[in-house]
């Protein structure tokens, strides 16, 4: 009886170890074959073929493999590297897959990325924009519209953010807060950089965008933005208790606050609206050639979308700058000390600027001279890969180097794979600002995307990083408490301890 029981167990274990994987493999192959057959049947054209790759298992596709690489293996590029090794004899850099419920084409070579990014946004363009839950940021915001509407809104936003007068005003507005924050961190002695940097970045965003100083209201606004952003990553199920419903409620509250602010500004005399002031005034005042202004909906939707686009991305990049500099004393020293080679008298690049003028603040005019700081900024954004991928949808069947990207499929442009590719950057995972002595190979640096949708806030992001690096370098030293802490990659890349560090004012011992 006992022997029979053991045999039964052995049979079940054998089945589990042998038949189940075999069955899964068969389903895996059949699913891919079924997608290819459906594709071929719908296009009776001879020779039409899907990009190489695999559609994975029914329903889940390859989502679990992607999550495995991001969450468990902590090698986010492993997913795409495996595809390259397996399918990319021709080096085309496009692969079919199925991710999070959608048949998808992944794109990951300089030429293929350019092909997609540059054929987006114009009227009749091959690729359109597709972000999850567009209602959460608003249908009339720049990231959710295509064609002429996009060009019009983008023009307004670029004019409001990127004008030298706006950047000059930003440089002035944010520095007192940065300086005060750094002092407060030094008073604490140890900080969690991710948390503190987010806080000061948000305070600066409130100042730059709507001239709000920290208050209980801005704290609530911060919480509502956190709820809103969580909604993009959640299943869009509008039921009590879901993250999506909470995100919608947060959006309504943000809407109310910004609409009140807009109304208040309209009721004050127009002369009080300072064109060179904050972003909201900029958007309210901009006028097209035909004399048409942005509607209230457009102003509010775009303020919300700009905070969403600029908040986590910038604070994450600043955190990575502090993290990498803590691990690269050589780079930090160079950031502080400008060698005899560059400045006479061994003056310091950052210390030389603004020590005795403007109360220690830098101005927009100082920035072109901050050559090494600029290299640290670019290297940080390259290694951090703050925006690892961008999303599009194919509006029609699109041919690319002998393959068809089918109409309706999602297209994911995997920007980060360029920045971590040893063919384009020597020792790509190491932080080395000096690599920027030479420009990168054409098309291999796409941290801000490319084409008609290239990041509208890239100058603003660079400016904020430069300001933070300047004040960190001249006044403080810091050390990671857990330099070997693991890194998480979802929803954003950061060390698991949030980059906990000791933080000390220079010359304070």
Question: Which residues would be at the binding site for ligand HEM (CB under 6 A)?
Answer: 142-143, 154, 157, 306, 309-310, 313-314, 317, 381, 386-387, 390, 447-449, 453, 455-457, 460-461
Nearest residue (CB) to ligand HEM, 155 versus 346: 155
CB of 79 to ligand HEM, least distance (A): 19
Cα distances (angstroms) measured from residue 250 to each of 170, 198, 206, 226, 304 = 27, 19, 17, 9, 11
Binding-site positions for heme read: 455
Instruction: Assign 3-class secondary structure to 139-173.
Output: CCCHHHCCHHHHHHHHHHHHHHHHCHHHHHHHHHH
Nearest residue (CB) to ligand HEM, 242 versus 458: 458
Nearest residue (CB) to ligand HEM, 55 versus 117: 117
CB of 354 to ligand HEM, least distance (A): 23
A 10 A CB-CB count for 41 gives: 8
Nearest Cα to Cα of residue 332 among 345, 349, 347, 317:
349
For 131, the 3-state DSSP assignment is: coil
CB of 391 to ligand HEM, least distance (A): 7
Nearest residue (CB) to ligand HEM, 63 versus 464: 464
Nearest residue (CB) to ligand HEM, 50 versus 381: 381
Check if the beta carbon of residue 273 is closer than 8 Å to that of residue 285: yes
CB of 142 to ligand HEM, least distance (A): 5
Check if the beta carbon of residue 169 is closer than 8 Å to that of residue 276: yes
Nearest Cα to Cα of residue 104 among 53, 69, 141:
53
Residue with tokens 């300086």: 179
CB of 419 to ligand HEM, least distance (A): 11
Nearest residue (CB) to ligand HEM, 31 versus 314: 314
CA atoms within 13 A on the CB side of 490: 12
Nearest residue (CB) to ligand HEM, 56 versus 93: 93
A 10 A CB-CB count for 330 gives: 11
- Spacing of C-alpha 86 from chain mean position: 28
410-413 and 102-107 strand pairing: parallel
Q: Kindly state the helix (H) or strand (E) to which residue 491 belongs, with its residue range.
A: none
Binding-site positions read: 455
Nearest residue (CB) to ligand HEM, 56 versus 310: 310
CB of 302 to ligand HEM, least distance (A): 8
CB of 10 to ligand HEM, least distance (A): 55
Q: In whole angstroms, how large is the CA radius of gyration of the chain?
A: 25
Check if the beta carbon of residue 175 is closer than 8 Å to that of residue 471: yes
Cα distances (angstroms) measured from residue 261 to each of 140, 153, 288 = 19, 21, 23
- Cβ-closest residue to ligand HEM? 457
Helix axes of 458-475 and 296-327: crossing angle, nearest 10 degrees: 40
Stated length of the chain: 509
Nearest residue (CB) to ligand HEM, 103 versus 449: 449
Nearest residue (CB) to ligand HEM, 325 versus 390: 390
CB of 310 to ligand HEM, least distance (A): 3
Burial class (CB in 10 A: 0-12, 13-18, 19+), 402: exposed
Residue with tokens 């594709």: 39
501 forms bridges with which residues in the sheet? 191, 480
Interatomic CA distance for residues 87 and 265, integer angstroms: 58
CB of 378 to ligand HEM, least distance (A): 11
CB of 447 to ligand HEM, least distance (A): 5
The conformational region for residue 243 under phi > 0 = left, psi -120 to 50 = alpha, else beta, is alpha
């Amino acid at each position: 009886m006992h022997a029979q029981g053991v045999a039964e167990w052995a049979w079940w274990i054998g089945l589990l170890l042998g038949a189940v994987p075999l069955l899964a493999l068969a389903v895996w192959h059949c699913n891919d074959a079924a997608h290819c057959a459906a594709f071929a049947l719908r296009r009776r054209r001879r020779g039409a073929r899907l990009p190489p790759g695999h559609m994975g298992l029914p329903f889940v596709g390859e989502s679990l493999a992607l999550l495995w690489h991001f969450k468990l293996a902590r090698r986010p590029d492993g997913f795409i590297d495996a595809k390259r090794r397996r399918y990319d004899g021709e080096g085309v850099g496009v692969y079919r897959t199925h991710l999070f419920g959608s048949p998808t084409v992944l794109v990951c070579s300089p030429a293929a990325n350019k092909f997609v990014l540059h054929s987006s946004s114009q009227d009749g363009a091959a690729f359109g924009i597709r972000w999850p839950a567009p209602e959460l940021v608003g249908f009339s915001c720049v990231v959710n519209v295509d064609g002429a509407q996009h060009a019009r809104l983008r023009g307004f936003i670029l004019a409001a953010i990127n004008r030298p007068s706006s950047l000059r005003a930003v440089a002035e507005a944010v520095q007192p807060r940065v300086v005060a924050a750094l002092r407060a961190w030094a008073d604490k002695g140890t900080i969690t950089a991710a948390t503190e940097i987010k806080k000061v970045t948000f305070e600066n965003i409130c100042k730059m965008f709507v001239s709000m100083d920290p208050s209980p209201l801005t704290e609530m606004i911060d919480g509502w933005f956190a709820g809103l952003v969580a909604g993009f990553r959640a299943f869009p199920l509008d039921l009590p208790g879901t993250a999506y419903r909470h995100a919608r409620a947060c959006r309504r509250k943000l809407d109310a606050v910004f609409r009140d602010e807009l109304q208040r500004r309209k009721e004050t005399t127009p002369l009080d609206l300072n064109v060179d002031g904050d972003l909201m005034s900029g958007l309210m005042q901009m006028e097209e050639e035909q004399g048409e202004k942005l509607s209230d909906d457009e102003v509010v939707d775009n303020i919300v979308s700009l905070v969403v686009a600029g908040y986590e991305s910038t604070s994450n990049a600043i955190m990575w700058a502090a993290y990498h500099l803590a691990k690269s004393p050589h780079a930090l020293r160079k950031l502080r000390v400008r060698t005899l080679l560059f400045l006479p008298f061994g003056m310091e690049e950052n210390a030389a600027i603004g020590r005795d003028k403007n109360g220690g603040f830098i101005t927009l005019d100082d920035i072109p001279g901050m050559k090494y700081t600029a290299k640290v900024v670019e290297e940080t954004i390259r290694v951090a890969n703050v925006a690892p991928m961008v999303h599009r949808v194919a509006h029609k069947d699109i041919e690319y180097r002998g393959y068809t990207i089918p109409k309706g499929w999602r297209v994911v442009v995997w920007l980060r794979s360029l920045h971590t590719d040893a063919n384009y950057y020597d020792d790509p995972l190491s932080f080395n600002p000096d690599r920027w002595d030479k420009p990168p190979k054409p098309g291999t640096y796409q941290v801000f995307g490319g084409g008609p949708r290239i990041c509208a806030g890239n100058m603003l992001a660079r400016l904020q990083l430069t300001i933070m690096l300047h004040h960190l370098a001249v006044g403080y030293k810091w050390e990671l408490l857990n330099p070997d802490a693991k890194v998480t990659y979802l929803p954003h890349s950061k060390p698991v301890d949030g980059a906990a560090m000791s933080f000390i004012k220079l010359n304070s011992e």
